Amino acid sequence: MRGIPDLAEVEAMDAADPLRAMRDRFVLPEDVIYLDGNSLGAASVDAFSEIETAARQEWARDLIRAWNTAGWFDMPIELGDQLGRLIGAKPGQTVVCDTTSINIYKVLHAALAMRPERSVIVAEGDSFPTDLYMAESVASRRLGTVLRLEGTDAPTIEELVDHRVAVILVNHVNYKSGRLRDMAALTRKAHEAGALIAWDLCHTAGALPVDLDGSNADFAIGCTYKYLNGGPGSPAFIYAASRHHRDIRQPLSGWWGHARPFAFEQGYAAGTGIRRFLCGTQPVLSMRALKGALDMWNDVDIRAVRRKSAALTDLFIRLVEARCGGFGLELESPRSGAERGSQVSFAHPHGYQVMRALIERGVIGDFRAPSTIRFGFTPLYVGYRDVWDAVEVLEDILRTGIWQDARFAVKTTVT
């Protein structure tokens, strides 16, 4: 793309978009430009259809029988395999269950148990808080376990890895800046030191291709309500390489993870394979909504998603810097599309007020303290004209100074 495109060129990009038909499968308000899919993905017709079927036909008609007649019991594994195709995992290595926080807890305990002679967890100092909170919790419950943080104990994760490290917990895409890490290189570094590595894919799955198997990753966790559009609070997932399955020991030994859950035995006997990460009864209606969202990916090439993601974010950066320069914005995301996920973050001294003003005008992004305004681009339903229109609104808000209105300074929840 040479120079700054005009509106005609932007509309031509939409016309040539191989993913443009996917937008019709989502339910989006006409007066909203939704750039917060990196927090909560949009609702889809497919998800609604699955919920309707599960509630009105299966639950209402079959009642308890639906666990068998509708296949509810097997959904964690079946959806795990379906999701696994999007993250480079062969069947039998991914399970959909619980929440990201709970799954981090399970994975870290499992990894530490696999390296009993080691006592260090390594994580990022600027990780999403739940990762750090759960890592702190795990460390506090294992005598002698220490948490080392990138940016606090050393400038980089690589400098923190030594013979004492049991497991590294790291985000593939940083939630705030969108910076993308080299999965294969860092995994190799961990293994050279004898450590295990767990990748957080919350801001990756559904946004760009991942090759967990090819990168020789040990574990991965992630949510399904962002770029996978599974719905608010939709169940998370765990990946564990098959070479580790026999050694998995995790502390939440609920009945769904039992080898014989319907034998109702007093003692716990762990199931086989990836089922060892299961715990309690799963939320069926949320699972079925996720099934609808995942079914859409049968018609999508994840490589086309990545290409469009890079093009959308490139266009956004160029237009913002061309039209909003001089208004105090500073790019926080990598400039190169190859180095970032599907989001763009700018810092502004009054980012909270600016985002509040944007949301009032129908451009929904989000704010991350202390000064980051963050925009997520979900290629399945965000178009190039959306980018153009969003930048027009941002320019107007900054040029007129309307963000300084007192109503935007009131501290309320921002998405």
Q: Which of 73, 128, 133, 327 is catalytic?
A: 128
Q: Could you tell me if 359 and 284 are in contact, meaning their C-beta atoms sit under 8 angstroms apart?
A: no
Cα angle value 126/173/19 (rounded, 5°) = 150
> Encoding tokens for residue 383?
């178009």
Tell me how far apart the alpha carbons of residues 179 and 98 are, in angstroms, rounded to a whole number. Answer: 27
105 tagged catalytic:
no
Q: Which of 106, 176, 226, 368 is catalytic?
A: 226
374 tagged catalytic:
yes
Q: Could you tell me if 125 and 135 are in contact, meaning their C-beta atoms sit under 8 angstroms apart?
A: no
225 tagged catalytic:
yes
* Eight-class DSSP state of 408: G
- Nearest Cα to 211, choosing from 305, 78, 90? 90
Q: Which of 36, 131, 200, 218 is catalytic?
A: 200
Q: Could you tell me if 277 and 239 are in contact, meaning their C-beta atoms sit under 8 angstroms apart?
A: no
Compute the CA torsion angle 262, 74, 53, 292 (nearest 10 deg): 150
Q: Which of 34, 225, 227, 384 is catalytic?
A: 225
> Encoding tokens for residue 253?
């030994």
277 tagged catalytic:
no
Name residues whose C-beta falls within 8 Å of residue 234's C-beta, 6 or more positions apart in sequence. Answer: 223, 224, 225, 228, 286, 289, 290, 293
Give the active site residues.
128, 200, 225-226, 374
